[in-house]
Amino acid sequence: MSKPPEFLYPRAREHAFDEVCEHIVRALEKRHFDVPGINVEFDVYGSGEQRMRMVRRITGQNFSLYFSRSQGLLPEGTYNDTAAVNTVAIEGEQISVYEDHSGPSYYVYVGDDWERDREWFFRSSCLVNSKLYGESRRYLKYSGSDETSRQVRFGYHRYGNKYAETAKFLLHTNDMHREYEPGPHDKPFYVTHEVTERMAAQLKIELKQIEETQERNEPFQFDEPVPVPVEGCPEFWTFAEHRAAERIKTGQTDIDELKLSDRYALNIDYRLLPYGCPADGLGHDPEKLHDGYVWCALNPEQIPYEAKSLSMGNALVRVRPTRFNDIYVVDEAAYEQTRAELSARIDKENEDRPEDDKRTRFTDDEVNEQKRARAKTFVPWLEYDGSFEKPVVLIGREIGLDEVQIVKTAD
């Protein structure tokens, strides 16, 4: 079985708030990331024996931290360590900093109802081109600059490099007239270190409040293995592309021939629902429905399209999981039935259309309707009652070299 991902901590020390962000992560870990009023989101990336886990986002009542800034290459140079804080938000202000010293990007809240807008403001992806999109004036945007009086009419970006220092000032930008201008009482610029030090001071208050809660005695453990069902391990079937099949053969013969990041069999690929397809109203966690999976079947004859085929030069693979973490089932028949119903409806509509105006394709909404019908049947494997007409197994984790066998390769 693959070893668990290595947990990465923020270790950058370029900005005033970097160190306190690391202390917050470590303090939360001592409390099993379970502190009232604070939500913690994690992420896992990498592959094989070079898989990393990190805190991706921490959100409290009065602050939000988003971690995605590179702290340098990991061993082998395959992946970056991205556990440093990228975006810090406290009441009324937010800053994003980058490993190449470009920016920073700074946002000041100028709306009229902070309690209403708090969650919106803390989600940094919302703060984009508000004037261009006709949204209300609720924030102003500032960018890094070494000047305080530059007339920024078409946006200003400070390109950096690894030898550069962070810009001294944060100067207002209308971003090519896509953002709002300051009012008579708004500042035209801020001093960068004053902003970062003010944010660090606020985060130290949050840290102290975390440290006043009870620690746990035992170490925190991620992802306890879910054991194989007592009735035995079923066989799942899928395809592996040619390069993956060669990697599997090499790893099962002599794992030392593979670099650390290649020491795995199969990894998640095709999403159950694409991000453009809404997941609301389906009775399941939207994040799970939008995740990618290894698509498998219960027999070689029913491997779904999403797993590709031998005719595309892939190998037939038998999967026997050693643990049942992140294994689910959906009913492909729900997708096929919805598709057939929509096709019949289009055919009926086409009867009254002239030949050159007949519809030959589904709309995007109709394609989403088919995928949502399948996603609605989503259920963990260990809760599956065997009633699906065409079950498709979805494995939402990396599959280890000890969990697969190549049965047949393409001619």
Q: Kind and range of the H or E element at 340? A: helix 332-350
Q: At 70, list the tokens.
A: 């590179």
Starting at the edge strand found earlier in the chain, the sheet holding 327-331 runs 270-271, 292-296, 391-395, 327-331, 379-380
Strand partners, 105: 96, 143
- Asked if residue 157 has pLDDT above 50, the reply is no
pLDDT in tens, 100-135: 888 899 999 999 999 999 999 998 778 999 999 999
Q: How far apart are CA 16 and CA 33, in angstroms?
A: 24
**For a pLDDT cut of 90, what percent of the chain falls above it?**
78
- Asked if residue 337 has pLDDT above 50, the reply is yes
Residue 233: pLDDT band by 50, 70, 90 thresholds?
A: confident
Please give, one letter per residue, the 3-state secondary structure of 50-111.
EEEEEEEEEECCCEEEEEEECCCECHHHCCECCCEEEEEEECCEEEECCCCCCCCEEEEECC
- Asked if residue 1 has pLDDT above 70, the reply is no
Residue 153: pLDDT band by 50, 70, 90 thresholds?
A: very low
Q: At 330, list the tokens.
A: 């959906």
Q: What is the CA radius of gyration of the chain?
A: 26
What number is the average pLDDT over the span 224-233? 84
- Asked if residue 25 has pLDDT above 60, the reply is yes
Backbone angles phi, psi at 59, to 5 degrees: -130, 125
- CA 223, distance to chain mean position in Å, is 18
- Structure pTM? 0.83
What number is the average pLDDT over the span 235-251? 94
**Residue 2: predicted pLDDT:** 65
- Asked if residue 222 has pLDDT above 60, the reply is yes
Residue 156: pLDDT band by 50, 70, 90 thresholds?
A: very low
pLDDT in tens, 136-146: 999 999 999 98
Mean pLDDT in the chain? 91
- Asked if residue 223 has pLDDT above 70, the reply is yes
**Residue 409: predicted pLDDT:** 81
- Asked if residue 403 has pLDDT above 50, the reply is yes
- Asked if residue 352 has pLDDT above 70, the reply is yes
100 or 95, higher pLDDT = 95
Q: At 110, list the tokens.
A: 């100028």
**Residue 149: predicted pLDDT:** 65
What number is the average pLDDT over the span 367-378? 97
Listed ranges 3-7, 64-68, 101-105; the one with the highest mean pLDDT? 64-68
Q: At 189, list the tokens.
A: 């610029």
pLDDT in tens, 171-209: 999 999 999 999 999 999 999 999 999 999 999 999 999
**Residue 9: predicted pLDDT:** 98
Residue 162: pLDDT band by 50, 70, 90 thresholds?
A: very low
pLDDT in tens, 273-311: 998 899 999 999 998 999 999 999 999 999 988 888 777
> Which among 341, 237, 328, 342 has a CA at the least distance from the CA of 287?
328
What number is the average pLDDT over the span 388-408? 95
311 or 234, higher pLDDT = 234
Q: How far apart are CA 221 and CA 217, in angstroms?
A: 12
